[in-house]
Amino acid sequence: MNFTEDQVERYSRHIILQDVGVEGQQKICDAKVLIVGTGGLGAPAALYLAAAGVGTLGIIDGDVVDMTNLQRQVIHHTPDVGKPKVLSAKEKIAEINPDVKVNAIQDLLMAHNALDIIKDYDFIIDGTDNFPAKFLVNDACVMAEKPFSHGGILRFDGQTMTYVPGTASYRCVFKEPPPPNAVPTCSQAGVFGAIAGMLGTIQAAEALKYIIGKGDLLTNRLLIFDALKMNFRTVNVKPNPERLKIDKLVDFDQAVCDIKKD
Amino acid sequence: MKLKINGKESELTESSVSVIKLLEIQKVDMPDMVTVELNGDILDREQFESTTVKDGDELEFLYFMGGGAQ
């Protein structure tokens, strides 16, 4: 595909970057990225990936926009309250960049549909809000050998790492999901709105770096930040072959209930 | 002994302690939920009791962060 004049203008600040250039921008325009969850992390990630010109953005979320989302989920605006999040996000993406094709899936990623949904994408962004979903994204991506960016936020803290086949996965750091309600969620403990933007845009940058094949990804490293002290650290982590063997997907909440029944 | 915990130097009066004891000394919230990396290797929870921390060791206490969408 050759760029139109409008596209050359739109993407000019990318194109003049030596590490992106016309070739890199072309890769971005050809890329397919799936964003799981269009909330605190998925919202900024989707905005930047749309602006960057990612050819196809998949967005999956089963929720509708709630008033409490607006403090940080910047893709959703006040008139969107009550609207399905994927629809609200799709509308904003179209306004930012009509070149982007959006696959909006109003559903939850589950063990039965995860592999089928991720198979069409080059890179997956975990913008989910709960551990069963985070482990499911991890397991599905490891199983299907799909690169993905893990992200988590709580209060003033964030953490993120990038997986590509062969590197440490989320499960290499955190072996299994914590029991339900053992770890507070953002709705219970609160979250500083701006850190969702900080973390979600790091995830978007990782996706774009992967697509253009430049720089060093956050592989085998967990980036942790504390926005209250504005302190960033990376902790090296190693792949654990045992924890990279995934042969089936589980909906963890269900599994926990099943164990209790026994 | 001197340890480096989450990048910060930490001095303990003990000369060696188990990981589980260290979590207690460091007053780590919810020690059952923390991931511990000792000198670059992530420990299995079952190793917390049997693994001893000694002078010069570097540790990372890593915590679950689940938020993102809701």
DSSP track, A156-178: TEEEEEEE-TTS--HHHHS-SPP
A97-143 tens-digit pLDDT: 999 999 999 999 999 999 999 999 999 999 998 999 999 999 999 99
The reply to whether residue A235 touches residue B66, judged by beta carbons under 8 angstroms, is no
Q: How many domains, chain B?
A: 1
Inform me whether the C-beta atom of residue A222 falls under 8 Å from chain B C-beta atoms.
Answer: yes
Domains of chain A: 31-261 (3.40.50.720)
The reply to whether residue B42 touches residue A173, judged by beta carbons under 8 angstroms, is yes
- Domain of residue B16 covers 2-62
Contact B65, A262 (CB under 8 A): no
The pLDDT confidence band at residue B68, using thresholds 50, 70 and 90, is low
A176-185 tens-digit pLDDT: 999 887 887 7
Q: What percent of chain B has pLDDT over 70?
A: 96
The chain A residue lying nearest B65, using CA atoms, is A152
**Nearest Cβ partner for A235 among B37, B44, B65:** B37
pLDDT at position A256, please? 42
Considering the domain boundaries, does residue B69 fall inside one?
Answer: no
Cβ neighbours of residue A1 closer than 8 Å, sequence gap 6 or more: A26, A29, A30
Return the higher-pLDDT residue of A39 and A183: A39
Q: What residues of B are in contact with residue A41 (Cβ under 8 Å)? A: 68-69
Asked if the ipTM is above 0.95, the reply is: no
Return the higher-pLDDT residue of B29 and B42: B42
Considering the domain boundaries, does residue B26 fall inside one?
Answer: yes
pLDDT at position B25, please? 94
- Give residue for tokens 């919230």: B29
pLDDT at position A258, please? 41
Strand partners, B53: B17
A113 Rama sector, left if φ>0, alpha if ψ -120 to 50, beta otherwise:
alpha
Considering the domain boundaries, does residue B50 fall inside one?
Answer: yes
We report the CATH number of the domain holding residue B16 as 3.10.20.30
> What are the DSSP E strand ranges found in A74-137?
101-105, 123-126
The pLDDT confidence band at residue A257, using thresholds 50, 70 and 90, is very low
DSSP for residue A2: P
The pLDDT confidence band at residue B69, using thresholds 50, 70 and 90, is low
Considering the domain boundaries, does residue B6 fall inside one?
Answer: yes
